[in-house]
């Protein structure tokens, strides 16, 4: 069995690395263990070119994304850890998420792999939406999200406290031995979305709640993702059919040259 730790932090020997390392160490030596530092990978920005549609074509950008996907496919269990930066997860998570259109129809390659997520944050009450960002990241990859931890640890090494390490070891055991729903592990003082486990809500003027992540539906399911791919294909087809008219419209804005850039 193989377990893979994905560390979305540029810090060497930072809190995320310590936590994931401790989780891996606590598991039997019969597991094949790997860690990847996501910010160290060459992951280029999505160009919004839609060349990956239909979504069985794959992304045309050649970088380390294929390496990452291959490692995830080979793993049986996944741990994803990120610090909270300005209320959100590290930017490496978002850069990868932006490239996931090419995987919309490839759910079977990742589905069923159990996953847990860990967020470290520095100031109480400032964990923001980092937890939801990691959950969304795992579910867009069709991983089976089992649970998560929020760890207050700002300075490098603070996560090595005995009580924190005990929590991480318990989460590692939880990952390989049980199959709970995401909300079973968490505090009951929050009203979580019953579909995706998010704590984020939108409230309309009538006081009705709506989950902005899954829209109270199975948005992350393989079927919904495949449907999303078809909708994007229709958008691409509409562009191809009207691209000459759209180009003429866009050219009207070409003369508005207010760009500034730093001198190199």
For residue range 56-110, list pLDDT tens digits in order: 677 889 999 999 999 999 999 999 999 999 999 999 999 999 998 887 767 678 8
Q: Nearest to residue 36, comparing CAs of 71, 75, 83, 84? A: 71
**Average pLDDT of the segment spanning 155-172:** 93
Q: What integer pLDDT is reported at residue 59 of this predicted model?
A: 86
The total number of structural domains that make up the chain: 1
Q: Nearest to residue 14, comparing CAs of 76, 84, 78, 74? A: 84
The domain containing residue 43 runs over which residues?
2-187
Domain of residue 102, CATH code = 3.40.50.360
pTM, two decimal places: 0.88
d(CA 224, CA 215) in angstroms, rounded, equals 12
| Residue 154: pLDDT over 80 | yes
| Residue 181: pLDDT over 60 | no
229, part of any domain: no
246, part of any domain: no
103, part of any domain: yes
32, part of any domain: yes
262, part of any domain: no
Q: What integer pLDDT is reported at residue 185 of this predicted model?
A: 46
169, part of any domain: yes
Q: What integer pLDDT is reported at residue 182 of this predicted model?
A: 42
pLDDT, tens digit (0-9, with 9 covering 90-100), for 233-245 = 899 999 999 999 9
**Residue partners of 33: CB distance under 8 A and separation at least 6:** 2, 3, 5, 24, 27
Place of tokens 């078809």: 230
Q: Nearest to residue 201, comparing CAs of 170, 223, 191? A: 191
136, part of any domain: yes
Exposed / middle / buried, residue 102 (Cβ in 10 Å: 0-12, 13-18, 19+) = buried
248, part of any domain: no
């Amino acid at each position: 069995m193989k377990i893979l730790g994905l560390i979305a932090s540029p810090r060497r020997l930072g809190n995320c690395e310590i936590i994931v390392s401790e989780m891996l160490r606590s598991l039997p030596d019969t597991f094949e263990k790997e860690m990847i530092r996501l910010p160290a990978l060459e992951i280029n920005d999505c160009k919004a070119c839609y060349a990956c549609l239909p979504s069985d074509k794959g992304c045309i950008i050649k970088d380390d994304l294929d390496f990452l996907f291959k490692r995830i496919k080979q793993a049986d269990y996944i741990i994803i850890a990120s610090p909270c930066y300005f209320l959100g997860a590290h930017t490496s998570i978002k850069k990868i998420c932006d490239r996931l259109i090419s995987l919309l129809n490839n759910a079977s390659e990742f589905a069923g792999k159990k996953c847990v997520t860990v967020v470290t944050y520095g100031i109480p009450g400032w964990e923001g939406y980092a937890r939801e960002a990691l959950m969304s990241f795992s579910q867009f990859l069709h991983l089976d999200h089992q649970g998560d931890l929020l760890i207050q640890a700002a300075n490098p090494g603070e996560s090595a406290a005995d009580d924190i390490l005990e929590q991480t070891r318990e989460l590692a055991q939880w990952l390989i031995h049980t199959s709970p729903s995401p909300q079973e592990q968490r505090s009951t003082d929050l009203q979580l979305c019953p579909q995706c486990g998010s704590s984020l809500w939108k409230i309309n003027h009538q006081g009705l709640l709506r989950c902005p992540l899954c829209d109270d539906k199975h948005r992350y399911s393989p079927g919904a993702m495949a449907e999303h791919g078809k909708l994007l294909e229709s958008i691409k087809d509409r562009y191809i059919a009207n691209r000459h008219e759209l180009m003429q419209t866009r050219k009207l804005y070409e003369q508005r040259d207010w760009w500034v850039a730093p001198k190199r």
